[in-house]
Amino acid sequence: MKLYMHPGACSLSPHIVCRELGLPVELVEVDRATHRTQGGEDYLHINGNGYVPALVLADGQVLTEGPAIVQYLADLRPEAGLLPPTGSVERSRVQSWLNFISAELHKPMVMLMLPAYAPARAVVAALVDKRLDWLAGQIAGPYLTGDRFTVADAYLFVCLNWSPWNGVDLARRPALQAFMAQVAARPGVQAALAAEGLAPLGDSIFFAPRPAEAVAAQ
Q: What is the DSSP string of 162-194?
A: THHHHT---TT-HHHHHHHHHHHTSHHHHHHHH
The pairing of beta strand 2-5 with beta strand 54-56: antiparallel
Parts of the chain belonging to CATH 1.20.1050.10: 89-186+200-209
For the chain, what is the mean pLDDT? 95
d(CA 14, CA 65) in angstroms, rounded, equals 10
* Beta strands, E only, the chain: 2-5, 26-31, 36-37, 54-56, 62-64, 198-200, 207-209
Please give the average per-residue pLDDT across 9-16, as a whole number: 98
pLDDT at residue 210, as a whole number: 73
* All CATH 3.40.30.10 domain ranges in the chain, comma separated: 2-80
DSSP 16-41: HHHHHHT---EEEEEETTTTEETTS-
pLDDT tens, position by position, 155-208: 999 999 999 999 999 999 999 999 999 999 999 999 999 999 999 999 899 999
pTM of model > 0.85: yes
Give the pLDDT confidence of 109-168 residue by residue, as tens digits.
999 999 999 999 999 999 999 999 999 999 988 999 999 999 999 999 999 999 999 999
Name the CATH topology of 89-186+200-209.
Glutathione S-transferase Yfyf (Class Pi); Chain A, domain 2 (1.20.1050)
CATH of domain 2-80: 3.40.30.10
Using CB atoms within 10 Å of the CB of residue 40, give its burial: 0 to 12 exposed, 13 to 18 middle, 19+ buried.
exposed
Give the pLDDT score at 16. Answer: 98
